[in-house]
Amino acid sequence: MAIVSKGFHGKRRGNDGRIPPGQHLTTDFPVLSAGPTPRVSTDRWEFTIVTEMGEKHRWNWQQMRALPNDKPMVDIHCVTTWSKLDTRWRGVSLDTLLDGIDTAATHVMAHGYDGYTTNLPMSEIRGGRAWLAFEFGGKPLGPEHGGPARLLVPHLYFWKSAKWVNKLTLMMRDEPGFWERNGYHDYGDPWQEQRYQGD
């Protein structure tokens, strides 16, 4: 028997159980940001992975686009209670970017060009579960949605999919990012309704 959160009754029809508790279906793609939208040209875009030993691995736009890429079709879920189904992306798997990097890190901090940060366990960005995404719906990812490239970690609440991403810092222990320091859950599983600390 399905459990339906109070206030959302009737909005789940047709989703085949794909909407987590407390969420409602949208066909829009709402724009939510912690601050102003940075405008980053692909000419100066750079992505860096910094290991726990301080080693830096860098890609410019051309190098990143030359890597093998995937076309994931995934459902996404925002902590503000909207869910969007069957979203289509193109991006480079983080498995590809991490391949050959010597690390024993347990966690990662994602950084954006706007100063935004969010923390993730390493296990959640490996195994075909996370991408550096640069297209949405067959078009280049617009700045309002994190373009030219954003993190895509669709199995967690969408604040974990950092917009305008430019760096991953690999860490030997967990540290909170921007929203996590402000009361959001460290992990953020939508199916467990892990919105806030203590959930």
pLDDT digits (tens, 9 = 90+) for 36-49: 788 899 999 999 99
Neighbour tally for 59: CB within 10 Å:
18
Residue 187: inside a domain? yes
Is 13 contained in some domain?
no
Going by pLDDT thresholds of 50, 70 and 90, the confidence category of residue 15 is low
Instruction: Identify whether 98 is part of a domain.
Output: yes
Q: Which residues form the domain of 104?
A: 42-192
Residue 36 preceded by cis peptide, ω within 30 = no
Domains in the chain, number: 1
- What CATH number does the domain containing 111 carry? 3.90.420.10
93 vs 95: CA distance, rounded Å: 5
Assign 33 a pLDDT band (cuts: 50, 70, 90).
low
* pLDDT, tens only, 90-103: 999 999 999 999 99
149 falls within a domain:
yes
Does 31 reside within a domain? no
Q: Quick check: is 77 in a domain?
A: yes
User: Three-state DSSP class for 159?
Assistant: helix
pLDDT in tens, 50-70: 999 999 999 999 999 999 999
Considering the domain boundaries, does residue 11 fall inside one? no
pLDDT for 96-142, tens place per residue? 999 999 999 999 999 999 999 999 999 999 999 999 999 999 999 99
CA angle (131 as vertex; 91, 22 as ends), nearest 5: 120
User: Is 94 domain-assigned?
Assistant: yes
What is the distance between the terminal CA atoms of the chain, rounded to a whole angstrom?
Answer: 23
